[in-house]
């Protein structure tokens, strides 16, 4: 009987030490900011969204149709934005000059986070926040890793991939 009591004491003590160690590790790392938006698809500008006639949240589409192999990313509540695009290039369509088809003519991309929010007067408002430029290669590959200052509240966020500073049009947007 003494051996069983001794064994139970050892096992119970080890369990308490294990729980305390796990709690200590969790407390030291802290929780990561909650994810507001995670996306695995993006849509390139095409059809009626090419050009300024049908802007999305006030952002006009690029002047030529684009195509995209893959786009994904996430937006955290603290404003940490990650966007990865692969193969974001001008489309292989007659409206695109033959020499530009299948290429990205811009050395940089940016991202815009667009939120429905509430204006100072209490009315509905759209707030769009742009990142700095991030390098993009001719094959249309880019990784955007930025912090943006989100409005409060940030309702129904949409992420755009745009041209570099001074090129205020989108080439890809969340959705598919």
Q: What integer best gives the mean pLDDT of the chain?
A: 87
**Taking residues 57-82, what's their average pLDDT?**
98
The sign of the dihedral angle between the CA atoms of 12, 14, 17, 19 is negative
Residue 146, CA distances (Å) to 14, 78, 131 in order = 44, 11, 6
Alpha helices in the chain (DSSP H): 2-29
> Comparing C-alpha atoms, which of 41, 38, 102, 99 is closest to residue 67?
102
Reduce the DSSP state of residue 151 to 3 states and report it: coil
* Percentage with pLDDT > 70 across the chain: 83
The tens digit of pLDDT for each residue in 113-163 reads 999 999 999 999 999 999 999 999 999 999 999 999 999 999 999 999 999
Query: Domain map of the chain by residue range?
Result: 1-31, 32-174
pLDDT of residue 30: 64
CB atoms within 10 A of CB 116: 16
For the entire predicted model, the pTM comes to 0.81
């Amino acid at each position: 009987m003494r051996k069983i009591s001794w064994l139970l004491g050892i096992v119970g003590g080890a369990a308490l030490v294990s729980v305390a160690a796990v709690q200590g590790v969790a407390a030291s790392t802290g929780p990561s900011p909650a994810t507001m938006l995670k996306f695995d698809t993006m849509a390139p500008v095409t059809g009626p969204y090419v050009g300024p006639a049908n802007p999305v949240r006030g952002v006009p589409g690029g002047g030529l149709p684009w195509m995209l192999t893959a786009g994904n990313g996430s937006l955290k509540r603290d404003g940490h934005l990650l966007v990865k695009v692969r193969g974001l290039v001008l489309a292989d369509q007659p409206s695109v000059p033959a020499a530009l088809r299948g290429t990205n003519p811009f050395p940089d991309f940016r991202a815009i986070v667009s939120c429905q929010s509430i204006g100072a007067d209490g009315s509905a408002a759209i707030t769009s926040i742009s990142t700095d430029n991030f390098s993009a290669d001719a094959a249309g590959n880019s990784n955007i890793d930025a912090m943006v200052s989100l409005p409060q509240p940030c309702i129904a966020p949409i992420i755009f991939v745009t041209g570099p500073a001074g090129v205020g049009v989108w080439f890809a947007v969340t959705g598919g």
